[in-house]
Copies of this chain bind each other. A is one copy, B any other.
Amino acid sequence: MRLATRKNGSRDGELVVVSARHDRWAPARGIVPHLQAALDRWDEVFPQLQELDRDLAEGKLGEPSDMRALGAPLPRAYEWIDASAFIQHIELVRRARGAPLPEGLESEPLMYQGGSGCLLGPYDDVALADEAWGLDFEAEIGLVLADTPRGVPASRALDHVRLILLANDWTLRELVPAELAKGFGFFVSKPATSFSPLALTPDELGEHFEDGRVHLPLRSSVNGRLVGDPDAGEMHFSFADLIAHAARTRSLTAGTLLGSGTVSNRDPSRGASCLVEQRTREFLASGKATTAYLKLGDRVRIEMLDPSGASLFGSIEQTVVAG
């Protein structure tokens, strides 16, 4: 099932069930007002959404979709936890910063808590106050979790996955070094994160969601030029590992968002899911990073296609604007 949130002027928007071709949808308002409310009482609501989805597929109901009217599936969420599960990316970014590699890189996930109260929709403009802050995108896979108990082992963690989606974890690269030097992690260097139009139940990915990893390429482009399409299956830590780490000392509430970190492959021919990785590769190859960070007017597009070429989550398409 494909769930999405239509903007309707309210804080949480309105839940819609979207057809396989993304061309039609059925508002779920007769069942539940918005996605968070569905997650709050999933066992009761989910069968009703499935029935709506069946009726939509059979053409019994529904209306033409308007993807541009969609916001983030959760316009405000109770948590946004972001990992950095692609070790290749960590190695490259740290090299770019001249920072040492963290100890235990391969044994314990890096994870930070992001802001979650104001999340951006897939087509929302991204306001940038100062180009010198070095705006970069980071294309990621994300999960929406069910209630997840403290101390859940990795072996049972995937039972708590409700939905899968894409995220763009916007980063202000030039604000990162000074902030991390303070020792408390990211804060102002991470403005509001964006999410894909659609959030999918894991069954929609079929065999491509395996071992807690999404085994498909994630495509990122800037101004129509492909920056990379690395395989998201090359995660060092699986989502099971990430959930277990996130819940090690506290419970997570239904609707918690959990990100994979920037998708990255060891094979440089696959390109990158953020500009800093591309810049690092340029620097290592030629002694100079030639790709600039994003400027006003730049457009970033992130999407994931299935092997037939169909878009799974819809696309994140955002423009950088002054503000």
Q: A184-B186, A186-B185 are in contact. Are A118 and B253 (CB under 8 A)?
A: yes
Complex Cα distance, B249 from A175, in Å, reads: 11
Residue pair B115, A113 in contact (C-beta under 8 Å): yes
Complex Cα distance, B151 from A108, in Å, reads: 35
Instruction: State which of A96-104, A290-298, A312-320 sits at the interface with chain B.
Output: A96-104
Residue pair B253, A79 in contact (C-beta under 8 Å): no
A250 in complex: contacting residue of B191, B245, B248, CB < 8 Å: B191
User: What 1/0 mask marks residues of chain A from 59 to 86 whose CB sits below 8 Å from any chain B CB?
Assistant: 0000000000000000011110100100
Q: A112-B187, A184-B111, A185-B112 are in contact. Are A249 and B117 (CB under 8 A)?
A: no
Residue pair A103, B188 in contact (C-beta under 8 Å): no
Chain B CB within 8 A of A54 CB: no
Q: A78-B117, A117-B79 are in contact. Are A181 and B103 (CB under 8 A)?
A: yes
Complex Cα distance, B318 from A273, in Å, reads: 46
Residue pair A118, B76 in contact (C-beta under 8 Å): no
Residue of B whose beta carbon sits closest to that of A192: B250
Chain B CB within 8 A of A18 CB: no
Q: How far does the Cβ of A316 sit from chain B's closest Cβ, in whole Å?
A: 17
A residues neighboring B (CB under 8 Å): 11, 40, 76-79, 81, 84, 99, 102-104, 108, 110-118, 127, 129, 133, 150-151, 172, 175, 178, 180-192, 245-246, 248-253, 255-256
Q: A76-B253, A77-B78 are in contact. Are A245 and B184 (CB under 8 A)?
A: no
Complex Cα distance, B84 from A66, in Å, reads: 45
Residue pair A118, B250 in contact (C-beta under 8 Å): yes
